[in-house]
Chain A
Amino acid sequence: DGGITQSPKYLFRKEGQNVTLSCEQNLNHDAMYWYRQDPGQGLRLIYYSQIVNDFQKGDIAEGYSVSREKKESFPLTVTSAQKNPTAFYLCASRQPAGEGSNQPQHFGDGTRLSIL
């Protein structure tokens, strides 16, 4: 079955450490997205990528970095500059819209990051 796989499901980070969250999709989607979810805050966009080797900052990109070397993969690195990284992180993907139509975003099951 096609879908989006996020790993690991749970991740712990020590102070001052960078960690990388994995997101892989086999839906052949061009666009991929990273969101951060905090209780009562909804989803906030961190980064998104419309095509390989290209990505754009979202609303809360500070302290995060991404790469898009392959169509299937869009890893997110939470750097030590992110002072409050504890959150639930969701990856999504979608196909571009056709004329007069549109496609929804499909989501992975998320990674919960905590600070030790």
Chain B
Amino acid sequence: AQSVTQPDIHITVSEGASLELRCNYSYGATPYLFWYVQSPGQGLQLLLKYFSGDTLVQGIKGFEAEFKRSQSSFNLRKPSVHWSDAAEYFCAVGALGGYSTLTFGKGTMLLVSP
């Protein structure tokens, strides 16, 4: 069965500092990986996705993620965090093709300090 682990429940980063959110997945085939962001009381917004090709993926809002098959990881990064980045971040994994469902991690809450 597929699974996603986000080891950090909360992370606090100073504004302007760099950010890395960790995501480890378990999946038996080639995974299809996502990062979503959720502001309080809102739905999820897609930041970026990976299914093949270049292992460094660029997304919206200055985010990027790197797929490392050997480590089963898909960590999210941003070089300089803005206060508006404070939100909850979810990593998800699914299968390629068809109408496959997604398995989500439990999320990492990002707090940005002044």
Residues of chain B contacted by A45 (CB below 8 angstroms): 101-102
Q: Name the CB-closest residue of A to B36.
A: A107
Shortest Cβ distance from B35 into chain A, in angstroms? Answer: 10
CB of A50 within 8 A of chain B?
yes
CB of B41 within 8 A of chain A?
yes
Q: A110 and B42: CB pair below 8 A?
A: yes
Segment from A12-20, A68-76, A93-101 that makes contact with B: A93-101
CB of A2 within 8 A of chain B?
no
Q: A102 and B96: CB pair below 8 A?
A: yes
Q: B49 and A104: CB pair below 8 A?
A: yes
Shortest Cβ distance from B53 into chain A, in angstroms? Answer: 10
Interface size class of chain A, counting residues whose CB lies under 8 Å from the partner chain: 20 to 34
Given A42-B106, A104-B49, A109-B42 contact (CB < 8 Å): yes
- Which secondary structure dominates where chain B touches chain A? loop
CB of B74 within 8 A of chain A?
no
CB of A53 within 8 A of chain B?
no
Shortest Cβ distance from B105 into chain A, in angstroms? Answer: 6
Partner of A102, one of B9, B36, B41, B97: B97
What are 29 pairs between A and B in contact, CB < 8 Å?
Answer: A6-B43, A31-B99, A42-B90, A42-B104, A42-B106, A43-B44, A43-B104, A45-B101, A48-B99, A50-B99, A58-B101, A90-B43, A97-B96, A97-B99, A97-B100, A102-B32, A102-B51, A102-B96, A102-B97, A104-B34, A104-B46, A104-B49, A107-B36, A107-B43, A107-B45, A108-B43, A109-B43, A110-B41, A110-B43
Footprint of B on A, CB under 8 Å? 4, 6, 30-31, 33, 35, 40-45, 48, 50, 58, 90, 92, 94, 96-97, 100-102, 104-110, 112
